[in-house]
Structure 1
Amino acid sequence: MSQVAMRDLCLGIQLKPLPAPQKRSPDVPHAPMRNVPLTKDETKIALKNALRYFPQRFHHILAPEFASELKKYGHIYMYRFKPFQPLKAYPIEEYPARSVQAAAIMLMICNNLDPQVAQYPEELVTYGGNGQVFSNWAQITIMNAGRKYLHLESLKGKVLLTSGLGGMSGAQAKAAVIAGAVGVIVEVNKDALLKRYRQGWLHEICSDLADLKQRIQRAKKDEQATSIGFQGNVVDVWEFFAKDAEESGELLVELGSDQTSCHNPFGGGYYPVQLSFEEANEVMIQDPPRFKQLVQESLRRQVAAIDSLAARGLCFWDYGNAFLLEASRAGADVGQNGIRFKYPSYVQDIMGDIFSMGFGPFRWVCTSGRPEDLDLTDKIACQVLRELLNSDVSDSVKCQYSDNIRWIEKASLNSLVVGSQARILYSDRRGRMKIAQAFNDAVRTQRLKGPIVLSRDHHDVSGADSPFRETSNIYDGSAFTADMAVQNFVGVTLRGATWVALHNGGGVGWGQVINGGFGMLLDGSKEAHQKAAELLSWDVNNGIARRAWSGNNYALDTIRDAMEEDPLLEVTIPHAASENDLCGAIDRFFPTKSP
């Protein structure tokens, strides 16, 4: 598409003439109706707020139209003003911007509204990162879960059972296969399942539990890596395998998790097993108290089935999606003690130590839109990682470098790109700085045909504060302290980020997390070379310092290494208290009272 065709996007709200009303497209999924019981006064405010974008001469046309949308969908989407141009990540030179930085921002926004990327594109609902790049955090999690729980380097013949294919959770299918496992991903929404199947993220689909059991048995026997999408409710699947294990004594599932959107359990994020998908969508709107009751009963049943399998050897972890939190609120036996449950958060058990070593989801986007550029960036990143692997680093860090070399070598073979030409690589401070500067050199010498945008997921070393996910393995009492993401937001701003963001939510739920993010354009200049090093160093070290202060040994080693490499970096190192000194003082001044 040419700049001329894209120019309408820069003209603001079209009023000359007022565009004709548009219907919702039947070819894309749509968000469930929002159940927001507004009073008459609140409804008036909602309409007033929507109409303030438009001159009064149009209000008699738009007011009833917007009121109808609010009544029908629970939100005013203004479908009349949908752009006629297909939105996706076009090559950066096609955006009619006054600077390449502005064009990069336009590219990123348009990519997130690509129907192949967004969950509900016409309702402007997307999951950050979904589609623009397959994130290898899921693969990293599964591989390290195999090491930690099963004491295995290979997951051949092992089964992961989880749920969710709609948003970021769609990564689970690819991740299981790359890790060598049999991935069974349950999805209640047929459209979401078929979308992932058509995109090639699922190898096969089925909807019969007996067929699923037989397929798993064959795959385990043949040690076949595959991804099976099961259409149905995940509670039915958990209960089926729990009953089967009880009757046969055979444990078919070794690893388990959940990626339903439990941060929004009563608004379409979790579907109760007692109802079909279509019935649930109706009850959600028509009878919210009953829907909540069914969801909570369903959560209790799911936990009971997981408990039964865990007693036989299943290893289950929480993905930080508020599953265990909502299960505890529903009255399920999850053994809650503060922010800890009987099943660990994957941050507490797996990712926390990886974050403490400085490894997290480093993202880049090839703004040229050329697959050849993405292939070249893969090769550049792999070369940097090999050099780092042969440097003087600890065995635990070398293990992470090896995993990421394996990932980046196979990335292009696994057809991971949906949307923009982009990649995520779990990298540490050294890796991010060296890879970024190598990319900038390749842009300068025109080996890469367009600028590179650097970014990362908010779910990173220091990008988010959340006591139920990112900071859940910080045990000094500060897990609820929400300042790290703000410090990052300010720090990357001062160090030359092209754009920054500070926001709430992010998969754990409003009020449960705060996130800071950024984007940075590499244009081949000397300024970009220097800014990349300074920004990325701060972005990682800020989180390592927080984790080191809480006493994490990996973080302590990592921040000491960083200070040796950078004489200007000074981080306060904690002095560990001995158990004897602690217990002696407590016993003296806080003696246990006799009953």
Structure 2
Amino acid sequence: RQDLHIDLGSDQTSLHNPWAGGYYPVGLSFEESNELMAKDPEKFKEKVQESLRRQTEAINRHTKKGTYFFDYGNAFLLEASRAGAKIFKDEQGNFVTAEKAKDKENFAYPSYVQDIMGPMCFDYGFGPFRWVCASGKQEDLDKTDAIATEVLQRLKENSPEEIQQQMQDNIKWIQGARENKLVVGSQARILYADALGRIEIAKAFNDAIAKGKIGTVVLGRDHHDVSGTDSPYRETSNIYDGSRFTADMAIQNVIGDSFRGATWVSIHNGGGVGWGEVINGGFGMVLEGNKESERRLRSMLYWDVNNGIARRSWARNDGAVFAIKRAMETEPQLKVTLPNMVDESLLKTL
């Protein structure tokens, strides 16, 4: 159909693995693609890049007519640029290839972390907190859902205006979690929460374990979080001070978690963006229903989140500056250097 207006568009193809089945080129069937991939990988690569250029051209035409397009972060923009697609803009706003772009670090389109997840969630410390009921029992998972709901409802009453929407969204999410089968892997429940939310929920789990209401709970999180990942094309794409191309935060995160009480930690590469494009740090923490578990969860979860908020505040992200100030108010021992803001009008006079 011609003249069809598209309001919203994105891409989530697995272009972190473009030459081995992550992206199938137009014009070839699934079977033909697999055969070409195996028998003539260079030809298959040419077909993928040809298709990427075609796809980018179609996206550009739609956005000129008002479509809002964003990249999920699975390396679509990156691989399109390597394929010679017009995925950048020049100073006049025209779509150009990387060769003709003056700014080669910023694509014509944002990742969804830049425009959505970063400003709304990560900068405020909200990210995918995760837990598994080691018993494997549905009733234990139901009880943890109820505990998390009660904690979030209580915290929402005194939450600042800046995060009221996030709190309400997460309450609605956890209330509908069982009905919508919102579990992954080993029946892991994921719930977006900030540092205070994670600590209070984990403490409530630990207390319930101590009283024999539920079995052992293992805490974790997705790598797609506030501070566990250095990924310039996704998780840290909304850090604009130049440091998004460094890989220090994930390492600091893992080291800090390790001696603040994590049961285990991991550092790994890849994670949905591509080998060599991202460093991820993760942890697991076993709650045993005792005072030692409470001590560890308070120390480690606080660091695990605020490490990333500090980094984002140094990039002068408004939400992160707000969040780290709030963190220092609630914990006087936390000392984080705040960025010195520059009056833009003064710069214009130079």
Q: Is the 8 A contact 1:465 1:515 kept in 2?
A: yes
Partner of residue 25 from structure 2, selected from 272, 280, 283? 272
Partner of residue 167 from structure 2, selected from 401, 410, 432? 401
Q: Is the 8 A contact 1:339 1:468 kept in 2?
A: no
Q: Is the 8 A contact 1:367 1:421 kept in 2?
A: no
Counterpart of 2:148 in structure 1 is: 381
In structure 1, C-alpha distance between the alignment counterparts of 2:185 and 2:216, rounded to whole Å: 17
One-letter amino acid of the counterpart of residue 256, structure 2: G
Partner of residue 104 from structure 2, selected from 338, 358, 370? 338
Counterpart of 1:504 in structure 2 is: 269
Please show how residues 38-117 of structure 1 align to structure 2 within 5 Å: none
TM-align CA RMSD = 1.3
Partner of residue 470 from structure 1, selected from 232, 235, 247? 235
In structure 1, C-alpha distance between the alignment counterparts of 2:35 and 2:348, rounded to whole Å: 57
Counterpart of 2:9 in structure 1 is: 256
Counterpart of 1:312 in structure 2 is: 65
Partner of residue 224 from structure 2, selected from 436, 439, 459? 459
Matched, 1:581 2:334: no
Counterpart of 2:328 in structure 1 is: 563
In structure 2, C-alpha distance between the alignment counterparts of 1:351 and 1:508, rounded to whole Å: 16
For these two proteins, the number of residue pairs brought into alignment is 336
In structure 2, C-alpha distance between the alignment counterparts of 1:383 and 1:566, rounded to whole Å: 23
More strand by share: 2
CA-CA distance at 1:503 after TM superposition: 1.1
Q: Is the 8 A contact 2:182 2:190 kept in 1?
A: no
One-letter amino acid of the counterpart of residue 210, structure 2: R
In structure 2, C-alpha distance between the alignment counterparts of 1:465 and 1:444, rounded to whole Å: 37
Matched, 1:299 2:52: yes
CA-CA distance at 1:418 after TM superposition: 5.2
In structure 1, C-alpha distance between the alignment counterparts of 2:248 and 2:225, rounded to whole Å: 15
Q: Is the 8 A contact 2:183 2:190 kept in 1?
A: no
Secondary structure of the residue aligned to 1:260 is coil
In structure 1, C-alpha distance between the alignment counterparts of 2:22 and 2:105, rounded to whole Å: 22
Scaled by the length of structure 2, the TM-score of the pair is: 0.93
CA-CA distance at 1:307 after TM superposition: 2.0
Are residues 561 and 418 of structure 1, via their aligned partners in 2, closer, same or farther at CA, if it must alter by over 3 Å? closer
Please show how residues 16-415 of structure 1 align to structure 2 within 5 Å: 244=1, 247=2, 249-251=3-5, 253-335=6-88, 337-353=103-119, 354-391=121-158, 393-415=159-181
Secondary structure of the residue aligned to 2:261 is coil
More contact order relative to length (CA 8 Å, sep ≥ 6)? 2
CA-CA distance at 1:582 after TM superposition: 3.0
CA-CA distance at 1:367 after TM superposition: 0.7
Instruction: Name which of structure 1's ranges 308-317 and 436-445 shifts more when overlaid on structure 2.
Output: 308-317
Secondary structure of the residue aligned to 1:309 is helix
Matched, 1:539 2:304: yes
One-letter amino acid of the counterpart of residue 379, structure 1: A
Matched, 1:553 2:306: no
CA-CA distance at 1:314 after TM superposition: 2.2
One-letter amino acid of the counterpart of residue 561, structure 1: R
Counterpart of 1:417 in structure 2 is: 183
What per-residue deviation string (whole Å, max 9, x for no partner) do you get for residues 67-113 of structure 1?
A: xxxxxxxxxxxxxxxxxxxxxxxxxxxxxxxxxxxxxxxxxxxxxxx
Matched, 1:486 2:239: no
Scaled by the length of structure 1, the TM-score of the pair is: 0.55
Secondary structure of the residue aligned to 1:305 is helix
Counterpart of 2:95 in structure 1 is: none
One-letter amino acid of the counterpart of residue 364, structure 1: W
CA-CA distance at 1:289 after TM superposition: 1.2
What per-residue deviation string (whole Å, max 9, x for no partner) do you get for residues 240-299 of structure 1?
A: xxxx2xx2x342x42221111101111111111121111111111211111011000111
In structure 2, C-alpha distance between the alignment counterparts of 1:262 and 1:500, rounded to whole Å: 28
Secondary structure of the residue aligned to 1:257 is strand
* Identity among equivalent pairs (%): 60
One-letter amino acid of the counterpart of residue 570, structure 1: K
Q: Is the 8 A contact 2:111 2:234 kept in 1?
A: yes
One-letter amino acid of the counterpart of residue 311, structure 1: K
Secondary structure of the residue aligned to 1:571 is coil
Counterpart of 2:94 in structure 1 is: none
In structure 2, C-alpha distance between the alignment counterparts of 1:458 and 1:420, rounded to whole Å: 17
What per-residue deviation string (whole Å, max 9, x for no partner) do you get for residues 2-57 of structure 1?
A: xxxxxxxxxxxxxxxxxxxxxxxxxxxxxxxxxxxxxxxxxxxxxxxxxxxxxxxx
Q: Is the 8 A contact 1:339 1:472 kept in 2?
A: no
One-letter amino acid of the counterpart of residue 402, structure 1: Q
One-letter amino acid of the counterpart of residue 148, structure 2: A
One-letter amino acid of the counterpart of residue 296, structure 2: K
Instruction: Name which of structure 1's ranges 552-561 and 407-416 shifts more when overlaid on structure 2.
Output: 407-416
